[in-house]
Structure 1
């Protein structure tokens, strides 16, 4: 086993002897949309957006205001929340809490400000080989969209290249893009798999996510030791049981 120098992940390269059937992105998979993202991009011609500061001469897709612009409104909302709880937001311990909470929430959801193209940054390399690449135990932190409380865990990704490989750190970056949003674990798992497919168009992609959800630990059933495991298998990982088994054995090995 080789390590890539990151403390949060290990990667393994395993020889895959049989020839691979390469599939193109457009032929096999539909892109997973982020909830809340309009299907039709909003531009300066969209009613109500004529003066939007995010619309420039190039007619870029509509994007939210800068983070600094959002902080005052978010802080006021947190202040109202504190008051609704019966707290005094002006007492010493809470005086700066609305601003701190707003900044923290923006950090927890920074994935909304990132795109796959920006994160990949051309770190895709031509490489003519048929080896399985597995990066496992990538740390993940996200926010449950149902209760706005955290869930966290680890992600393992495997893919079979078809002439292109991805810089190993970029797999961890892809996890960051989609985990740092309001999420459900099932959708997060699929978004990661689809993003890797879109990036390098491999013969197959496999993703396993193991998460601990604070909405189950702190409220509701309050089962402290419960874990949720989700998986997405695309291409040969879905079609070939032996390839899938090999990946799962690598993921669960010590």
Structure 2
């Protein structure tokens, strides 16, 4: 799956800092005070960090033992940015697969969530991207992804539904087609 994030060579932090200063001034915030003078630069660096995933290799290994039960990592923390308001959303992911011929290094389950979360996103798309990446990389029997997140575009503005969370899921293979497998996954995922 192709990444749609800017790499470090395409970023212009000086221009981002200028834009941040203009943005703050346009909202009536004076940026020449001692406390706010460096804020535009910090904003530019913070956004660049939030929108740049760390590189990782998809380390896979042969499934020599023929393991055919769920491999599941849950409570994987993630943060992303709503593409509609550019406000953060944070939550946890549960990522699982039923191995085929290859298994994935466990830390890569968290890395793939981080990879796709580091861009302006919708939670629905993020959920699907993680599932499809696992399907493409491993060709497993099944994939399941559940994300639970709190969106600040819902909690801090608009409806201001503090404490609300959104749950999305993507099920592929037997986790989608077999009710008992689906139920096992959803139970282990805590959904």
> TM-score scaled to structure 1, two decimals?
0.70
Match of 2:163 in 1: 225
> Residues of 1 paired with 2:8 and 2:112: CA distance?
23
Describe how 1:137-152 pairs up with structure 2 within 5 A.
137-152=75-90
Match of 1:96 in 2: 38
- Give the deviation of 1:64 after TM superposition: 5.0
Gaps of 5+ in 2: none
> Residues of 2 paired with 1:64 and 1:152: CA distance?
23
- CA RMSD, 1 decimal: 1.8
> Residues of 1 paired with 2:89 and 2:130: CA distance?
16
Gaps of 5+ in 1: 1-30, 38-62
Q: How many residues align?
A: 189
Match of 2:94 in 1: 156
- Give the deviation of 1:91 after TM superposition: 1.4
Match of 1:26 in 2: none
Q: Per the alignment, in what secondary structure is the counterpart of residue 177 of structure 1?
A: helix
Describe how 1:166-185 pairs up with structure 2 within 5 A.
166-185=104-123
- Give the deviation of 1:129 after TM superposition: 2.2
C-alpha deviations, 1:55-74, integer Å up to 9, x for none? xxxxxxxx65626x510000
C-alpha deviations, 1:107-155, integer Å up to 9, x for none? 11113xx5xxx5234x100012212111111001111111111100100
- For 1:125, which of 32, 44, 61 is the aligned residue? 61
> Residues of 1 paired with 2:155 and 2:68: CA distance?
42
> Residues of 2 paired with 1:65 and 1:197: CA distance?
28
> Residues of 2 paired with 1:125 and 1:77: CA distance?
46
Match of 1:86 in 2: 28
Q: Per the alignment, in what secondary structure is the counterpart of residue 120 of structure 1?
A: coil
Match of 1:205 in 2: 143
Describe how 1:27-38 pairs up with structure 2 within 5 A.
none
> Residues of 2 paired with 1:249 and 1:64: CA distance?
38
Large movers: runs of 4+ above 6 Å: none
